Amino acid sequence: MRKRAVVLFGAGASVEYGVASTFTLTDIIEKAVMADEYMKYTGGDRAFAWVKETLKGYLQSPGDVQFEQIYHCVHELIYHFEPVKGAVNEFRPLLTPFVSINGAVTERALRSLAGKMVEIIYSNISASCENCPRSLDPLITFIARLRDRYVTRIYTTNYDDYPLQAAPDLYTGFEVKSNDEPRRFELNAFWNKQNVDSIFHLHGSVHLGFARPQTGSEIGELFWLDDRAEALKFASFSGSDTRRMDGSSFLRTSIVTGLDKLSRLQQRPMSHYYSALALDVMHADVIFVIGSGLGDLHLNTWLQEARSRSPNVPIIFVDYWTNDFRRHIEFDYGRKEIEMMHALRILIGQRYGGTSFGSGWTLSKREDAAVWGKGFQNFLQAPDELEEVLVRLGG
Helix (H) or strand (E) holding 66, with range, is none
- The identity of residue 149, as a single letter, is R
> Exposed (0-12), middle (13-18) or buried (19+): which is 253, by Cβ within 10 Å?
buried
Per residue in 369-395, is it b (16+ CB within 10 Å) or e — as a string? bbbbbbbbebbbebeebbeebbebbeb
Q: Which of 62, 50, 57 is nearest to 23 (CA)?
A: 62
Three-class DSSP labels, 158-200: CCCCHHHHHCCCCECCECCCCCCCCECECCCHHHHCCCCCEEE
The amino acid occupying position 390 is L
Q: In what order do the strands lie in the sheet with 4-9?
A: 198-201, 151-156, 4-9, 286-290, 315-318, 369-372, 361-363, 355-357
Spans of the chain below 70 pLDDT: 212-216
- Residue 62 confidence (pLDDT): 77
Decide: 324 and 296 in contact? Cβ < 8 Å: no
The per-residue pLDDT for range 252-279, each reduced to its tens digit, is: 999 999 988 888 888 899 999 999 999 9
89-120 core/surface letters (b: 16 or more CB in 10 A; e: else):
eeebbeebeeeeeeeebbeebbbbbbbbbbbb
Q: Give me Rg for the CA atoms of the chain.
A: 22
**Whole-angstrom Cα distance, residue 299 to residue 278?**
9
User: Which residues are 198's β-sheet partners?
Assistant: 153, 171
pLDDT at position 260, please? 86
pLDDT at 212: 67
What pLDDT was estimated at residue 279?
97
CA 140 – CA 162 distance, rounded (Å): 10
pLDDT at 213: 56
pLDDT of residue 326: 81
Listed residue (179, 204, 52) closest to 121, CA to CA: 204
Written out in words, the top-level CATH class of the domain with range 4-18+134-205+269-393 is alpha beta
Query: Domain segments of the chain: what residues?
Result: 4-18+134-205+269-393, 22-131
Specify the pLDDT at position 88.
86
C-alpha to C-alpha distances, 15 to 21, 46, 125, 251, 377, nearest whole angstrom: 6, 30, 11, 27, 10
